[in-house]
Structure 1
Amino acid sequence: MRRRALLASAVLIPFTIAVTAACSGGTEAKPPAEAMKTAQQKLETAKAVTIDLRADLPKGVNGVSRANGTGIIDEKEPKFKGQVTGVIKGNPAGVDLIAIDDKTWITFFTKDYTEIDIEKELSAPNPAELFRPSSGVATLLPATTNVKAGEQERNGQAVLQRYTGTLPAAPIQKLLMLGDDAETFDVTYGVDVESEELRSVVITGEFYPGESTTFTLNLSGYGKTVDIQAP
């Protein structure tokens, strides 16, 4: 009997240690204010970042359902080059797009780029503005109120710390030219626990009148610049 008890203990002790280690592992969440400030600084000084933007558009509206590409972060001349999919003038379409400061070019049913005033002609935001430090994605972080640390989740090889909060409508309206009828939006940020970089932004609210819509922005490739020139 004693031998059986000793054998049982030999099995149970490593198992208990393994379970305890698994439950107690992970990095403790940074205080929300500190995490938001650091993530903002990391993004503003990254020089470049790759984005993947997705949106669940309501039926019958013009807008971007997906955009992916690389942005050059610069106050005077932000840039973007990538692909945009959505509904343009009532037509579903996918286009290549280049944006440099306030100028944009697209390949809309053409092989060559055509310059277009994307804000006036398509009522869409210039994607280069996402990468201007004083008015782009980075400005959403300090504008967020009631920020609280949530759970940690694995995203590929990275572990992201979730932070939830509330965004006033003004910065969203300015950045995305949407949400005129909204007062606030719910937001969840995913911050890499190792690099402290902002890796995801999920914003939900009344982007379109009477409709709750979610925009998801994933960020990667910090510092990996590409050459973006006017076509």
Structure 2
Amino acid sequence: MKRSKRFAIVAAVAAVAAAVALTGCSSDDGSKDAPASDANATATLNSAADAAAALTGAKVVLDIQGSLQGVNASKVEADVATKPKVAAEGTATLKMGDKSSSAPFVYVDDHMYANIDDKGYIDYGDGRSIYDVSKILDAEKGVPFILRNITGAKEDGSETIDGVETTKITGTVAAKDLSGLTGASPEAKGLESDIPVTVWVTKDGKNNVARVLAEPAEGASMTINLSEWGKTVDAKKPADVKSPSAKPTTAPKSGEPTRQPVG
């Protein structure tokens, strides 16, 4: 065999070996590296997460456009306290069939009491059937957690929100990490993707979160506006809480409640 031919074969073998070595160094599950985050954006998000986790109270306005499985409210506007226990008082706009209903609610002692269609306050347990307000500022599942898990974070200019100048930051977050706010089970199918998210952080040195915008599903968005950071909230259980009756023997018509309050 001629020397030039042997050299070509050796070179080819070396190239194959190098390719195998490179393949072995890559991820076995085929996952791609997460996009790099800007250092300044990451620092701002971490400071904002610390500020949100330390909040004792705030005004929260949650607005949902489109349909999210597991969320029956299209809007929640409430004063939310985090310490010594989570408490909230406000109004939820509920989707009931082809109509909407505005319901005042109070969340105290891990129970949500709501007055839907002026039928009287009923105990809705943990409130998940309406919206679990206890998760919004939760350090393990809510806004602080989301901020710490954003990848590919980039600063995208400044914006004024409700008269407050903010830094706008874009990035993505794993759908399963957003499940605490969307109400979806972290093990549900379809939560393997990354979700676009935008955060606005105040530029007053306090690094408070003014707004979080995510798009958890196609054609659906979730916006959380925070203001009055550190607000004192004094929510109390309604004086007259009615007990729900037994489930009806026949299926209710669209938009009708599944239970009627009784005295």
Q: TM-score range by the shorter chain?
A: 0.7 to 0.9
- Distance change >3 Å, CA 193–CA 157, structure 1 → 2: same
Give the whole-Å Cα distance in 2 for the aligned partners of 1:59 and 1:190: 23
Q: Counterpart of 2:226? A: 219
Partners of 1:149 and 1:162 within 8 A in 2: yes
Give the whole-Å Cα distance in 2 for the aligned partners of 1:60 and 1:216: 16
Q: Report the secondary structure of 2:219's partner residue.
A: strand
Give the whole-Å Cα distance in 1 for the aligned partners of 2:167 and 2:69: 36
Q: Counterpart of 2:41? A: 32
Q: Counterpart of 2:177? A: 171
What is the CA deviation profile of residues 95-148 of structure 1, one whole-angstrom value per residue up to 9, with x for unaligned ones? 01112353111001235321013657x3x4411222333332211111111111
1:37 alignment partner AA: N
Aligned equivalent of 1:132, options 135, 138, 141 = 138
Q: What do you get for the CA RMSD once the two structures are aligned?
A: 2.6
Q: Report the secondary structure of 1:128's partner residue.
A: helix
Matches within 5 A, 1:1-231: 31-58=40-67, 63-74=72-83, 77-88=85-96, 91-110=99-118, 112-117=120-125, 122=129, 124-178=130-184, 180=188, 181-182=190-191, 183-194=193-204, 195-206=206-217, 211-231=218-238
Partners of 1:186 and 1:203 within 8 A in 2: yes
- Distance change >3 Å, CA 110–CA 89, structure 1 → 2: same
| Worse-superposed segment, 127-136 or 218-227 | 127-136
Give the whole-Å Cα distance in 2 for the aligned partners of 1:147 and 1:62: 27
- Distance change >3 Å, CA 162–CA 170, structure 1 → 2: same
Q: Report the secondary structure of 1:43's partner residue.
A: helix
- CA positional deviation for 1:68: 0.6
Q: Counterpart of 1:12? A: none
Q: How many residues align?
A: 196
Give the whole-Å Cα distance in 1 for the aligned partners of 2:215 and 2:158: 20
Partners of 2:103 and 2:115 within 8 A in 1: yes
Q: Which structure 1 residue ranges, 5 or more long, are not aligned?
A: 1-28
- CA positional deviation for 1:175: 2.9
Give the whole-Å Cα distance in 2 for the aligned partners of 1:100 and 1:119: 11
Percentage of pairs with the same residue? 18
- CA positional deviation for 1:213: 0.7
- Distance change >3 Å, CA 205–CA 134, structure 1 → 2: closer
The structure with more radius of gyration: 2
Give the whole-Å Cα distance in 1 for the aligned partners of 2:143 and 2:149: 11
Q: Report the secondary structure of 1:135's partner residue.
A: coil
Q: Which structure 2 residue ranges, 5 or more long, are not aligned?
A: 1-37, 239-263
Q: Counterpart of 2:254? A: none
What is the CA deviation profile of residues 147-202 of structure 1, one whole-angstrom value per residue up to 9, with x for unaligned ones? 11111112243211100011101122233213842422110000111131110001
Q: Report the secondary structure of 1:222's partner residue.
A: coil
Q: Report the secondary structure of 1:227's partner residue.
A: coil
- Distance change >3 Å, CA 186–CA 155, structure 1 → 2: same
- Distance change >3 Å, CA 89–CA 103, structure 1 → 2: farther
Partners of 1:145 and 1:167 within 8 A in 2: yes
- Distance change >3 Å, CA 151–CA 204, structure 1 → 2: same
- Distance change >3 Å, CA 62–CA 173, structure 1 → 2: closer
